């Protein structure tokens, strides 16, 4: 597989210094807010604020290595200057690609404001919620999204598109075709906001919306601090939210989305698929409509055959029946999503549930509890048959989440460098399909963009 649809090995750290005035509601900050953002002490916000800011300034780059990005722009600095008329952001050593003729690109400016907003909200407000309970965590996710003003009370039309950042040109073009067909049918797009299968559907939808003279099309991107440096927001995203962690990011997807389309991908995409199926396998969610389609071009037929086989062999026939696979037919994908929107609308009306937030979906604590992919936690995962399917799904999701961290997240990469490979153990009839699937991802170049000879960050124990 050729994964060169936009990656350039000749990346250079061309950097500039600049001063900008943020637009919108965050042009005024209190002195205490500024102090918290610039706090460089242990536990202070500056490092998080700096790293997320650098990530959005790097929009459009096909570099999926958070550690390498931070090293490439090691001299980058961001400071907040308070003035009578508001604040200014002073940037030192910022990526030059964020500017045109000396002015910051407007979309990147908006993303930078989103960083300030979300980093402050996470620091100031999350401790107001009981994050040890299912209800408290869901309430926190709701308030986080509401603070970002992305919960819009309109009839269901938001399609969440998942898929890999490391995909072939044919797969990328196919994601654009699907996005185009969705856009023609007045549907909006939500993705993980990065490149590849996260950018393609948005790009296609812009053309579909333009043909239908839709001027307020939504291209909603949801990220989190650990992944944003490896998957910088693509330039099409017009609503960016940076959730506090991967678990709240995943919950934000399924609470706000009305249908799910999954394109080919690697470990991160498999994490999302298993998370979603784990939720839908819970008995309380069997009546909740959420159309799910796995799709790709003709060249991805074998990929989905193997993913389908993996799901059946690990999670069982019930999980196997929760989705449909559509190969090389963008119109059919879009029609199925449109039909699904009708079912979702009818269900929400009957149950008096909100259009903009799926309150009725039950999400167990196993899917909400933040998983820290240390070597101890990875080796301690329960990957055995002696548990309900949705519990096994929760643990498999964490295993794939750890692999993502070891591949692209700064903290995960450093942990592998210091302590060696993550180790996964479990029942052989589970671990063999996991091993087989991961080897397929490696063989097809789906793990990383920037490494030609990928070295696994894990090993499957015998």
Per the structure block, which two tokens stand in for 349? 């009306």
Q: What is the pLDDT of residue 411?
A: 84
Q: What is the pLDDT of residue 312?
A: 94
**Beta-bridge mates of residue 72:** none
Q: What is the pLDDT of residue 446?
A: 86
Q: What is the pLDDT of residue 401?
A: 93
Sequence ranges of the domains in the chain: 15-134, 135-462
The total number of residues shown for the chain amounts to: 462
Q: What is the pLDDT of residue 10?
A: 38
Q: What is the pLDDT of residue 21?
A: 77
Q: What is the pLDDT of residue 421?
A: 93
Chosen CATH of 135-462 out of 3.40.50.450, 3.30.413.10, 1.10.8.870, 3.10.450.40: 3.40.50.450
Fold classification of 15-134 (topology level): MCP/YpsA-like (3.30.1850)
| CA atoms of 405 and 396, how far apart (whole Å) | 14
Query: Hey, do 15-134 and 135-462 end up sharing a CATH topology, with the first three levels equal?
Result: no
Q: Is the pTM of this model over 0.95?
A: no
Q: What is the pLDDT of residue 3?
A: 43
Q: Counting Cβ atoms within 10 Å, is residue 247 exposed (0-12), middle (13-18) or buried (19+)? A: buried
Give every residue of the chain whose pLDDT is below 50, as ranges. 1-11
Q: List, edge to edge, every strand of the sheet that includes 15-20.
A: 15-20, 86-95, 77-83
């Amino acid at each position: 597989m050729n994964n060169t649809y936009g990656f350039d090995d000749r990346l250079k750290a061309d950097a500039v210094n600049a001063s900008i005035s943020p637009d919108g509601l965050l042009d005024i900050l209190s002195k205490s807010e500024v102090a918290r953002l610039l706090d460089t002490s242990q536990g202070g916000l500056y490092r998080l604020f700096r790293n997320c800011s650098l990530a959005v300034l790097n929009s459009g780059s096909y570099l999926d290595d958070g550690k390498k990005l931070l090293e490439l722009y090691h001299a980058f600095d961001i400071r907040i200057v308070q003035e009578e008329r508001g604040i200014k952001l002073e940037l030192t050593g910022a990526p030059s690609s964020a500017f045109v003729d000396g002015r910051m690109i407007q979309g990147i400016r908006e993303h930078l404001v989103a960083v300030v907003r979300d980093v402050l909200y996470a620091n100031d407000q999350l401790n107001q919620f009981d994050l040890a309970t299912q209800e408290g965590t869901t309430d926190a996710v709701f308030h986080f999204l509401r603070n970002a003003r992305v919960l819009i009370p309109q009839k269901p039309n938001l399609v969440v598109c998942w898929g890999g950042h490391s995909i072939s040109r044919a797969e990328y073009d196919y994601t654009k075709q699907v996005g185009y067909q969705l856009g023609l049918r007045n549907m909006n797009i939500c993705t993980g906001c990065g490149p590849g299968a996260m950018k393609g559907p948005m790009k296609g939808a812009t053309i579909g919306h333009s043909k239908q003279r839709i001027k307020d099309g939504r291209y909603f991107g949801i990220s989190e601090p650990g992944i944003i440096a490896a998957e910088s927001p693509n330039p099409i995203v017009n609503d960016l939210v940076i959730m506090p962690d991967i678990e709240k990011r995943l919950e934000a997807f399924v609470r706000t989305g009305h249908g799910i389309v999954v394109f080919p991908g690697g470990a991160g995409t498999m994490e999302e698929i298993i998370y979603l199926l784990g939720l839908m396998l819970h008995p309380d969610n069997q009546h909740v409509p959420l159309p799910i389609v796995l799709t790709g071009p003709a060249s991805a037929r074998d990929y989905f055959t193997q993913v389908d086989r993996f799901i059946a062999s690990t999670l069982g026939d019930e999980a196997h029946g929760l989705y449909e696979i559509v190969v090389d037919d963008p119109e059919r994908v879009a029609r199925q999503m449109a039909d699904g929107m009708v079912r979702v609308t009818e269900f929400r009306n009957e149950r008096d549930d909100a259009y903009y937030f799926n309150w009725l979906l039950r999400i167990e604590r196993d899917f909400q509890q933040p998983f820290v992919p240390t070597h101890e936690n990875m080796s301690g995962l329960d990957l055995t048959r002696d548990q309900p399917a949705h519990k096994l799904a929760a643990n498999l999701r964490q295993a794939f989440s750890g692999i993502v961290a070891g591949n692209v997240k700064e903290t995960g990469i450093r942990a592998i460098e210091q302590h060696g490979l993550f180790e996964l153990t479990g029942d052989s009839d589970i671990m063999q399909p996991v091993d087989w699937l991961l080897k397929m991802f490696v063989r097809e170049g789906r793990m990383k963009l920037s490494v030609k000879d990928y070295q696994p960050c894990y090993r499957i124990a015998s």
